[in-house]
Amino acid sequence: MSALSSLTFLKVPVRSRLSFSSRTIFIPPFSVRAKNLSSRFVFRQASNGTNPTSETVFAVPTISVDNSEEDESTAFVIRARNRIGLLQVITRVFKVLGLRIDKATVEFEGEYFTKKFFVSDSHGNKIENLESIDRIKKALMEAIDGDDLTISARPATRGIVVRKPGLLSTSGERTAKAERMFELMDGFLKNDPLSLQKDILNHVEYTVARSRFSFDDFEAYQALSHCIRDRLIERWHDTQLHFKRKDPKRVYFLSLEYLMGRSLSNSIINLGIRDQCADALSQLGFEFEVVAEQEGDAALGNGGLARLSACQMDSLATMDFPAWGYGLRYQYGLFRQVILDGFQHEQPDYWLNFGNPWEIERVHVTYPVKFYGTVEEEILNEEKYQVWIPGEMIEAVAYDNPIPGYGTRNTITLRLWAAKPSNQHDMEAYNTGDYIDAVVNRQRAETISSILYPDDRSHQGKELRLKQQYFFVSASLQDIIRRFKDVHKDLSQFPDKVALQLNDTHPALAIPEVMRVLVDEEHLGWNKAFDITCKIFSFTTHTVQAEALEKIPVDLLGSLLPRHLQIIYDINSYFMEELKKRIGLDYNRLSRMSIVEEGAVKSIRVANLSLFCSHTVNGVSKLHSELLQTRVFKDFYELWPEKFQYKTNGVTQRRWIVVSNPNLCALISKWLGTESWIRDIDLLMGLREYATDISLHQEWQMVRRVNKMRLAEYIEATSGLKVSLDAMFDVQIKRIHEYKRQLLNILGIIHRYDCIKNMAKDDRRKVVPRVCIIGGKAAPGYEMAKKIIKLCHAVAEKINNDSDVGDLLKLVFIPDYNVSVAELVIPGADLSQHISTAGHEASGTGSMKFLMNGCLLLATADGSTVEIIEEIGEDNMFLFGAKVHEVPTLREKGSTIKVPLQFARVVRMVRDGYFGFQDYFKSLCDRVEGNNDYYLLGSDFESYLGAQAAADKAFTDKEKWTRMSILSTAGSGRFSSDRTIQDYAEKTWGIEPCRCPL
């Protein structure tokens, strides 16, 4: 009996580079000392006269075993169709199984090969146990039994252009190419520090074009990023090939916004090579943290919806779901916020000025997008069809961004589209000698993907925004349909293989676009096309107020997209007939539910279109879902309650603990005894067992103090203000908006300042010191939000320079708030305020990020806070304010509500010019007094001060505060985007994991 047959085996999931699904085999528990195979393969062309083009030989892969040729090796003979990269797959299988390859030969016979591998076990003996041989053969068959992975060629202006293998003129050329490819590609890029150093230096010299003996931190960042991208591309290729082979149902996530933040640290951590990269850089004279800071934010979105999209992409990759994300590659992201004399000024965010090493430009992946023109009727096979004759054509060019998963090889794609002029228009201008017209056309085309959120107060702004939306969905759907048709010919199978997720109403034009393609281009009947359309779309709305729902003027839509307006009218006509069958001639309700809104400006209600044509409508928190059902979409819910679901939003713990708070990450792993919580965040509940442990308390407090030191250094660097680490760091960072009530926070700070000023010196010793931190951007046209920012600075100027107050109270405004700043602020916060008027926040993912980091919440019962209360209990937060059901009544009472004297006093201080700018702040004061106090600042003020007092009292009890902090982190598992995505996959999309083997 051989040594292999007598071994004790471990039971582990088998992994190979391309082909294994998760299954169980036995692997010997020995380290593999793999040999360098590139110099040991012997290539020779078969000389038996086989026709190279024949497809009759080895059509089905075969594996046989011969133990007679060598004394110390077993020969595995594999016969199969040749495929680039297959040699690497096979050798990888042997390595994973703990086997050594002593030598190998390869014979080519046309498009097929015979590969003979002489292998031995880890002790150098033959493999003679029949059960072991059978397991090895099964593992090999899993690896090589795949579909042909080629992609058919397409016209240069449509889709992907790839040369098929086998187009070389002779079999000899094919053999030479295969030999060379096998030799060059025999192995993955290595991740040890030495290999990383070599790759970094190569990229310094050949990509960045700097001397490897003289390069700075930014050039080190560029080189390291390309080095990491190389490894992502390996995984990305493997994942896409695996998806193609398995052909699972895929979800396509359509969102006009992605706040990805920085990619370097996140990618390195998901690859599991953070320490190796740090070592490699250290030996080259660089610090990893300094190099990582060189990266700018990819600010392709604004607020929670955009960051949610980024978190969900991370979870889709980590959980092995077959998914693609689609969006726009804005040349200018969200504006840079510059504060001058306390006033916000907007500057363009030239985020692409220094290049983006994470994107892969797909110059051959382009699609034409049409605008304007007319619709004509044509007859085909005695059937009438509508043909759209466009007046303008733009090309959409793909830029791919690999999104790696954590603890998996899966790496999915975020494909962003950039607008370029159509070659057809350039040629027309060239032929007429109108060079200037060609340049103007190019500039006009590129404008479509230039600006995130163009100012839509003008007709031109509205048209550009609509162009962006259609450009995005048209290119994405052409890409999705092309990918489907590469494998499937029957469009009736489309819902079985494709799920389209509408992230809010921005991508809703995808609905009439799918109908247009199916009816006008694929010539399906209207009813069949509509049935397919309704089966593939699901819709998530982030809106709380019905008046905030998006509408498109009919005149604008008819001019820009004439065929789509016809289709929407057809859908609405069908919709109205269905409604009449259900509710009769209730014209008021028919009018409310109609997709077409009659009025002074006839408009298309995009949300109603999305609701009717989607199989599922999702809210983003439990409370939000209730508001949708009882207020916003009550008419729809009463007719189709089965459509309505909710999946509370989540955030990824990889970004918001592992990347942003590595010290806390290490501490959690130490006390839980595992790092598995990074993928299975429910394990965080294990911290509850240690919530009163003094040793954990000491370590927890130390981690929090180190994070506060980092934040204090940042505050001093950006504002020049020194703050005390012993003070409570009280944070509110989010978009500046009246409903988010930053003004309530500032008025509370004024009250605290007023109290301190009027205290006796002995009483001031009892005051809990506070550093109040506010950050966020106001929309360029939102005047009230800009006045709130100015008030914050005016109050800070007064407080921070008052010697009577000293370190008892400081107010800081952090400028240009973005994802990277949040990664610094959130871990350093003691208290975080989420104080929107109840019923106005759909979800509020910011509270989840603070919760994960052990920050205590001071909040209203709004959005996801209601569910956070359920997880950690009211005793571990500071709640205040009116409940959702109380808000309408309080608004009706208006000026009859008696506001607290403290509120009247602080408003009067602002109105009377105590902080300067008396005239400028007058309208701000008017908005919070009497019937104008729509967001109930006066009504909630007393309750707000009570919650602040409770926070002060708890902060003085370090043991209690630390216990509450630990329990906050322990209860945050429900708010991971992993759970959100799992819910979507099971209840909405109907997709399953498709894990790429290692």
Query: Any idea which residues carry the catalytic annotation?
Result: 542, 734-735, 740, 845, 849
As to burial, measured by CB atoms within 10 angstroms (0-12 exposed, 13-18 middle, 19+ buried), residue 279 is middle
CA distances from 834 to 347, 710, 748, 774 (A): 28, 23, 14, 12
Identity of the amino acid at 464: L
Identity of the amino acid at 550: E
Neighbours of 371 (CB within 10 A): 20
Handedness of CA 76, 81, 83, 89 (dihedral sign): negative
Whole-angstrom distance, CA of residue 89 vs CA of residue 101: 13
Which one, of 537, 556, 551, lies nearest residue 594 by Cα? 551
Crossing angle of helices 958-970/937-956, nearest 10°?
Answer: 110
Which one, of 593, 572, 494, lies nearest residue 535 by Cα? 494
Task: Assess contact for 162 and 244: CB atoms under 8 A.
Answer: no
Which residue bears the tokens 């027309």?
428
Question: What one-character DSSP code corresponds to residue 677?
Answer: G
Helix (H) or strand (E) holding 42: strand 41-45
As to burial, measured by CB atoms within 10 angstroms (0-12 exposed, 13-18 middle, 19+ buried), residue 713 is middle
Which residue bears the tokens 């391309």?
18
Which residue bears the tokens 């700043």?
821
Whole-angstrom distance, CA of residue 428 vs CA of residue 435: 10
Helix (H) or strand (E) holding 347: strand 343-347
Whole-angstrom distance, CA of residue 870 vs CA of residue 852: 15
Handedness of CA 695, 701, 703, 706 (dihedral sign): negative
List the structure tokens of 725: 């680490």
Q: With helix as H, strand as E and coil as C, how does 164-207 read?
A: CCCCCCCHHHHHHHHHHHHHHCCCCCCCCHHHHHHHHHHHHHHC
Residue 926 in 3-state DSSP? helix
Which one, of 750, 803, 748, lies nearest residue 940 by Cα? 748
Measure the CA angle with vertex 235, ends 229 and 236; round to 5°: 80
| Cα distance between the two ends of the chain | 31
Which one, of 496, 532, 497, lies nearest residue 513 by Cα? 532
Alpha helices (H) in 247-372, listed in sequence order = 264-271, 274-283, 288-292, 304-318
